[in-house]
Amino acid sequence: MHHGFWNNIEKPILALAPMADVTDAAFREIIARYGKPDVLWTEFVSADGLMSEGRERLMLDLKYSEEERPIVAQIFGSNPDNFYRTALLLNELGFDGIDINMGCPDRSVEKQHAGAALIEDLDLAAEIIREAKRGAGNLPVSVKTRIGYRKNEIETLTPRLLEAGPAALTFHLRTRKEMSKVPAHWELAGGIVKIRDKAKSETLILGNGDVESLEEARSRAEETGMDGIMVGRGIFGNPWLFNPSINRDDLPLEERFRVMLEHVRLFEKFFRKPGEETKNFDVMKKHFKAYVSGFDGAKELRMRLMDAANGDEIRKILKEEFPKMSTSG
């Protein structure tokens, strides 16, 4: 079992969850600068797509900068051979690790027997992990999954996944059926750790679900015995989330907006080059909504930003609202 970079991180490991159309290269670079977690994940990318004619378009989701290391590429699919070949590619691209998505509830992903659908086919899941490991060389292969499909299945699911020997296993502590409609079942986390210990497995166990802050992540790790915690939604509008010395709400608004503009600039640099616009500017709008909250006049400013069509319009609006703020650079 190759643990790679996982062995060099002090516990508890604090990781940023991969989120489609959120944790892209632009946002991850901002996070790496202002509040870097112990591990970063790419958005999930289709192994089938990477092994098809459509590869070029998907390579965009595998962009990363050196500042982000250790950076893990997350892939999904259900064809073991494509996992093997994709792992070879990810090794060439210089990633620090490879993660297999076994938790995404998206219908179009599940139709391909991928994501959370793999929870219902553990033979296939084990084969996929084996093939990814075979192609990964010295790169550690990890898995992110849920606690079950329709019900809690940790008693059967965990041992089967541990047998396949992933370097790390992250559990989103809800079933596929529950989506995000109920609170995450943190009461089950200690049981997963016990199963791992009983199996004498060296796989690291991480938990994910509803964790909004660094303090909460640390206390969850302590009370459950998990090796690490993955934080997701709390990162919206708060690239300082993993920075223990900065509380976003204590920052002057100008600083918050300066970083938001930096985020816009990187988004345009990566995804809006003239002639090859690859991501819709609307992707940024959920970020504006989160950056611009919690102060008087936030709602009005937010509404103006939501109507903007590009970075120049965003800069102009902020210049009007905050004349002293520097919007250049």
Residue 138 DSSP code: T
Preceding peptide of 18 cis, ω within 30°: no
Q: Please report, as a single letter, which amino acid is at residue 228.
A: G
Judge whether 85 counts as a catalytic residue: no
Angle at 86 between CA 81 and CA 91, to 5 degrees: 130
Question: Which of 209, 205, 222, 203 has its CA nearest to residue 172?
Answer: 209
Q: Measured between alpha carbons, how far apart are the two ends of the chain, in Å?
A: 46
Mode of pairing for the β-strands spanning 272-273 and 276-277: antiparallel
Q: What are phi and psi of 138, to 5 degrees?
A: -90, 0
For tokens 């609307």, name the residue. 282
Choose, from 104, 154, 162, 259, the residue flagged as catalytic: 104
Tokens standing for 173?
A: 């502590």
Tell me the Cα Rg of the chain: 20
Residues that are catalytic? 104
